């Protein structure tokens, strides 16, 4: 399974009710650092295929979710376990840094 597109319609099912940790990438198409981060997020999704879920949330298409997570700057990465935020970071991150967030 590759990166999921997370919307307010599938958020509860894919994120809140997930039995695995979920990495959320808040991004926008006009954001340069978001575009640089995108292939890394894809690699993380492939490498953690049975251990975690990876979802992308477009802040322009899902402003309610961005607001709910108080996203002020993008890219913002959020790790959720059991429906709760356990880690978050703002800005570009290396693949190793993202993988360690998920551990």
Number of domains in the chain: 1
Give residue-wise pLDDT tens across range 2-45.
Answer: 899 999 999 999 999 999 999 999 999 999 999 999 999 999 99
Domain holding 53, by residue range, is 4-102
The verdict on whether 34 is a catalytic residue reads yes
Q: Catalytic residue among 22, 23, 34, 52, which?
A: 34
98 a catalytic residue: no
The pLDDT of residue 100 is 96
Give yes or no for a contact between 77 and 93, defined as CB atoms under 8 angstroms apart. yes
Distances, alpha carbon 98 to alpha carbons 12, 62, 83, in Å: 23, 23, 19
Name the nearest CA neighbour of 34 among 57, 65, 14: 57
CATH number at residue 89: 3.40.30.10
Global pTM reads 0.96
Nearest residue to 95 via CA among 50, 56, 42, 16: 42
């Amino acid at each position: 399974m590759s990166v999921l597109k997370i919307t307010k319609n599938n958020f509860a099912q894919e994120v809140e009710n997930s039995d695995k940790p979920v990495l959320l990438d808040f991004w926008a198409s006009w954001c340069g650092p978001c575009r640089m981060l995108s292939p890394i997020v894809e690699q993380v999704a492939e490498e953690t295929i049975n251990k975690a879920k990876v979802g992308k949330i477009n802040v322009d298409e899902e402003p309610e979710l961005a607001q709910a997570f108080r996203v002020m700057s993008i890219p913002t990465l959020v790790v959720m376990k059991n429906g709760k935020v356990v880690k978050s970071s703002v800005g570009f991150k290396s693949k190793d840094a993202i993988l360690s967030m998920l551990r």
